[in-house]
Structures are given as structure tokens and as C-alpha cells.
Amino acid sequence: MIGVPLRLKTAVALVLLGLLTLLAGIGQRTIWAPSETFTASAPADGQAAPLTVIDQKLRTLHGGTVKINVEGDGNFLLAAGRPDDVDAWVGQTAHDTVTGVSEDGKSLQVDHADGEATAPSPAGSDLWVSTENASGELEYSWTPPADGDWTLLLASDGTRPAPASISMTFPNDTSTPWAIPLMVLGSLLILAGIVLALLSARKRNGEGDGKGSGFAQRARAQSEARTSSRLGMVAAGVVTVAVVAGAGTAAQAASPAPSSDPASTAPAAGQEQAGSPVLLDAQFRRILEQVSSAADTGDAAKDAAKLAERVGGTELEVRTQNYKIRSQVGSYEPRMPVRSTKLLTTVVTKDREWPRSVLAVTQGDGNVVPQLLTLVQASPRENYKLVETNPLQPGTTFPTINRGTETLAAGDKSGLLYSGEEAMSGLADRLTSADSAFKDKLVEGESSPYIADTLSYQSEVVKAGENGNFSFTHKVVPESTVVFRTADGGALVLGRINFGFEGTPKAAGDKLTIGDDAAALAGGKETTTGMVLSFAESMAVYVPPAGSTDPMKLVAATRGLVGASFK
């Protein structure tokens, strides 16, 4: 048997070892605890490029907010956008991409892609949901502006290299999985040492008494058994605590941490982004304000050059001619003003290919009725432009369209009574002929006058034309047709129709006279050879879902004189 002195030495050793183990566990939670953050920097020897992309997966690499510090010469910007939007804007331009962090956590991993040496300045692009401008240095807290993935684009002016001094500070993993097991183990060792010391003391006291009587020996044996039993229960309790603590640590370790693996977020990144509207509300309002401001500036100066940045297509053509006519005919009615408020509704698609089309319905100062505005972004590096303004027909209700709705190809009839092409062609035929086959398939509201007024005007011109023969055509401009799915499964179809008005004298020497508005474009009021007037008609038609017995309805319509000439 082990002697009492050896037992005491062993007990002391256990207590000391337990103290050291306990202190080691406490130290992991205090003086040796990991830093709450760590910082990684871009290598100093990277290749220069005009653009730097910071991959969206870095934002969620370790959970929590990521802080970015950028240093560079002169002015630069940091823009946030959807990953596919950023990629589309970067295009074929040479760029660096910050893709990850090295294993030691000290360096950012940067990939370089060769390409075009310069790019336009990304400042002011409608693709960015937010932009931070800086000079010399920028400190930025990377938080998502909305659900989904967001990538950052860093650039100077597109011609100079993007700032190369980039560091990112991430939340660190502060878990200490060995702290609790070490503290529990240290406590067990201390307890074991104390138990062993107590038993040794009892043993030494027993030896001093000699063997004693049989009764005394049995009493000591029972006492030692009871002591051992109690100490065993305490030890078992501590072991239970250790097991529970260990299980808690294991459970904590098993909890999924934010992953840097794109595959782990693939359903959110791929599926969510595919269904994301192309504009957030804040983006839409900012764009609409800039469009309204450009239109106001152009209207006030009657200068189409001031429209070019934010107005295009049909609306630019109509307003340009409107200014020209009004410079000579003071009584000619101006186009309805473009307002960003009162914003009644917006229509934003989730289809992320270009061109992208969105709609707004506003009724601000000078809008007698609500006005439907169509904005189109032709390509990633172009901003949205107002291509059509279209007052809603009186007595017409604008159809409900869900946010993030889909757009359909003009020839796509899936789920619809008519395709966009068929709807626009039917409307053109209805405007041309009073006996159109679409007479009962496309109607107006009780107080909506556009179709009736057009047919009446054409009929009266023919009847009153004593000296001339007149004809009218309404032809769809196919590339202008845009189709949005409505909430009830139908569709809203928008597009342009070219309205042609031709006149030819009935006999030699007969003269045809045109109005002052047309004369401002034609360069005269009378002709003996014939005349051609051209109008751009902006139209919006509601198409019911397939199986419906309801007719199509004209929702919005207007026209503007865009051309006049003599034959």
C-alpha cells in the first residue's frame, strides 16, 4: 500500500496541478482571450486597375458589421449595388476583386482581371443604392441597405487607378472552447487532492492508535466508507457539471457560424437576387427627382439640350418639337409638366436584363389628371430616361401591379387574352377605323374620350375637306412595346403608335392649309402639292387574363405633333 507521506505528496501535486489547470481555463477567458476584431489589408504589390470590386461574401464572412478603411490620392468613391449590377457596370474594364482573407487573417486576397484600361466615372450611376465620396481617406461601415447580397465598387474617376490601400476589420471568433473544460478539470484535480489529503490524515491518525479492538476497526471502516461515499457523490456531481459544460461547449461549437463559402448562401444569393426588384424605393425616388428636375429645366428654357441627360425616346422628340412650335406660336399648349410628387404608385420589375423599364404614376402641380411616366435604362452604364408621359384617361382605374412584377416579351401571350403585340395592333386598328374588328374588344371608360375623339376628328376632316383628299394611319412602333404582368394575371401594355395624317389637293391649283402649329415645323401654311403631318401617340392598354370575357381597356393616351412637311 502507498504510504501516508507519499499520499500527502500526491495530494499536494494534484492541488497544484489543478490550480494551474484552473488558472489556464480562466486565462483563456481573460488575459489570453482572443481580440474582438481582426484586420486584414490588401497586398502593397498588387496590379493597378481603375476599378476595385469588393465581393459581397466578405460582408458576412464572420458575421457582424465589417469596417473598411481606404486611403488614396485625391477624390474617390465607394458605391454599393447588387452583385450582378456591379458586374454589368464593370464589364470588360480591367479590375481587382477582393475575394477573401488569408488563413492567418492578416491579408486580403485580391484577384486581378485584365481588360480595358479606363472606364467612365461610376459617379451618379442609377445602379448604386448608395455612394460614399471621399478625398484622401474613407472609413466605411458595411451594412446592407436591404435584404440580399450587396457588392462594393471602389474607383477614382475611371481613368486613374483605384485606391490600393484597403484594410478591412472583421468581427473575430472570440469563443474559447477549452476554457470551461480546463476550469472543470482543474476543479476536479483540486478536489481530488483535498480528498486524498483528508484520507491520508485519517489513515495516519488510525495508525497512531494501533490496531485497536475489532469494534474500533469496524467503526473506522464504516466511517471511511461513509466519507468515501460522500466524496464520491461530490466527485460525481462535479463530473456531471463537467459533462454538462462540455455538452454546452459542444453544442455551441456545433452552431453554424456565418460562412464565407458562396455555396452556403447560394439559395439566398441566387434565388433571392433573381427575384429582387431592379430598384429600391430610395433609388426610384432619387431617379424620379432627377428626371423631374431635368424636365423642369428644359421646359423653362424651351431648350431640348437640357433634357438630354434624363429624357429620351418619344418624350424627347415630342418635347423638342413642342419647344420649336411654342417659340413661334405663343398660344400652343405646352406638354404636361413632369412631377416626382405626388407619387401615387410605382411599377418595378424583377427582370434584371437590359433594357429595364419602370413606371411611376404622379399627380403634382400642373397635372390635371394622374400622369403615367415610363422610364427606361437602356444599358448598365446608362441612366434611366423618361421615354413617355401619358395622362390617365378620365374615369379609368390604374390596374394593381405587384412590386417586383415580371415583364413579358411583346409576343408572349402566356396567361393573357391578347399578347402585347396583339393589343397594340388592335388599338391601332381601332383608332384607324370606326368599324374595326376590335370595336367591342377594346373600350374606353364612360368619361374617357381618346378613341371617340380621334375617330370624330378624322371623320370631320374628311367631310370638311372640299379641296383635298385625306387619309389617316396609326402604326405601332414594335420596339417601344413594354408589357407588365398585373396582379390579377392580366397585363398592362405600353407603347408608341405613329399617327400619320396625309392630304392631297383634289385638283390642280387647289390649296391645302395647315394650322399654325404644323406651319412652324413645315415652314409655311399652304401647299398645292400635298402635306404630311406626323404625331407620336403614347398609349397604355390593360389586357385581361386568359379566359376572361372582359374587353381590353384604354388606360392612358396622349399625342404630340412631331413632324409636318409638304410633298
Contacts of 114 (CB under 8 A, 6+ apart): 94
Calpha distance 56→384 (Å, rounded): 25
Sign of CA dihedral 310, 313, 314, 316: positive
For 358-381, give the DSSP string.
EEEEE--TT-SS-EEEEEEE-STT
Q: pLDDT digit string (tens) for 417-442?
A: 999 999 999 999 999 999 999 999 99
Query: Is this structure's pTM higher than 0.85?
Result: no
Q: pLDDT digit string (tens) for 166-181?
A: 999 998 765 667 768 8
Query: Residue 222 CA to chain centroid, in angstroms?
Result: 78
Half-sphere exposure for 229 (CA within 13 Å, toward CB): 6
Q: Given this model, what pLDDT does residue 464 score?
A: 86
Half-sphere exposure for 427 (CA within 13 Å, toward CB): 33
Question: Are residues 342 and 333 in contact, defined by beta-carbon separation less than 8 angstroms?
Answer: no
pLDDT higher than 50, residue 238: no
Q: Which three cell numbers stand for residue 485?
A: 404582368
Q: Given this model, what pLDDT does residue 272 score?
A: 46
pLDDT higher than 60, residue 287: yes
Please name which of 19, 140, 174 lies closest in space to residue 71, comparing C-alpha atoms.
140
Using H for helix, E for strand and C for coil, what is the string for 388-404? EEEEECCCCCCCCCCCC
Question: Are residues 62 and 170 in contact, defined by beta-carbon separation less than 8 angstroms?
Answer: yes
pLDDT higher than 80, residue 214: no
Q: pLDDT digit string (tens) for 445-461?
A: 777 899 999 999 999 99
Task: Report in angstroms the alpha-carbon separations of 364 from 149, 192, 316, 557, 560.
Answer: 35, 84, 21, 18, 21
pLDDT band at residue 253 under the 50/70/90 scheme: very low
Calpha distance 98→55 (Å, rounded): 6
Question: Are residues 358 and 349 in contact, defined by beta-carbon separation less than 8 angstroms?
Answer: yes
More confident residue, 267 or 92: 92
Q: pLDDT digit string (tens) for 484-502?
A: 999 999 999 999 999 999 9
The secondary structure of residue 62, as a DSSP letter, is S
pLDDT higher than 90, residue 187: no
Q: Given this model, what pLDDT does residue 224 score?
A: 52
Q: Given this model, what pLDDT does residue 267 score?
A: 37
Q: At what angle do helices 179-208 and 214-254 cross, to 10 degrees?
A: 180
Contacts of 173 (CB under 8 A, 6+ apart): 34, 62, 257
Q: What is the distance in angstroms between the CA of the first residue and the CA of the last residue of the chain?
A: 129
pLDDT higher than 80, residue 322: yes
Q: Given this model, what pLDDT does residue 143 score?
A: 92
Helix (H) or strand (E) holding 320: helix 313-326
Q: pLDDT digit string (tens) for 8-45?
A: 778 778 778 878 887 777 766 776 666 778 999 999 88
Calpha distance 243→23 (Å, rounded): 20
Query: How deeply is 114 buried, as exposed, middle or buried, from its count of CB atoms within 10 A (0-12, 13-18, 19+)?
Result: exposed
Question: Could you tell me where the beta strands, DSSP code E, fall in 385-462?
Answer: 385-391, 407-408, 442-443
Q: Given this model, what pLDDT does residue 185 score?
A: 84
Sheet with 343-348: list strands edge to edge. 343-348, 356-362, 371-377, 385-391
> In angstroms, what is the C-alpha Rg of the chain?
40
For 244-311, give the DSSP string.
HHHHHHHHHHHSPPP---GGGGHIIIIIIHHTS-SS-HHHHHHHHHHHHHHHHHHHHHT-GGGTTTTB
Query: How deeply is 513 buried, as exposed, middle or buried, from its count of CB atoms within 10 A (0-12, 13-18, 19+)?
Result: middle
Amino acid identity, residue 502?
E
Contacts of 156 (CB under 8 A, 6+ apart): 50, 72, 74, 75, 76, 162, 163
**Residue 474 region by backbone torsions, left for phi larger than 0, else alpha for psi between -120 and 50, else beta:** beta
Helix (H) or strand (E) holding 83: helix 83-90
Amino acid identity, residue 439?
K
Q: Given this model, what pLDDT does residue 293 score?
A: 98
Q: What is the mean pLDDT of residues 60-68?
A: 88
Q: Given this model, what pLDDT does residue 7 score?
A: 72
Q: Given this model, what pLDDT does residue 374 score?
A: 98
Q: Given this model, what pLDDT does residue 257 score?
A: 37
The secondary structure of residue 77, as a DSSP letter, is E
Supply the mean pLDDT for the chain: 87
Question: Are residues 238 and 188 in contact, defined by beta-carbon separation less than 8 angstroms?
Answer: yes
Q: Angle at the Cα of 132 (from 130 to 133), degrees rounded to 5?
A: 140
pLDDT band at residue 274 under the 50/70/90 scheme: low
pLDDT higher than 90, residue 469: yes
Q: Which three cell numbers stand for residue 530?
A: 400635298
Percent of the chain at pLDDT > 70 equals: 85
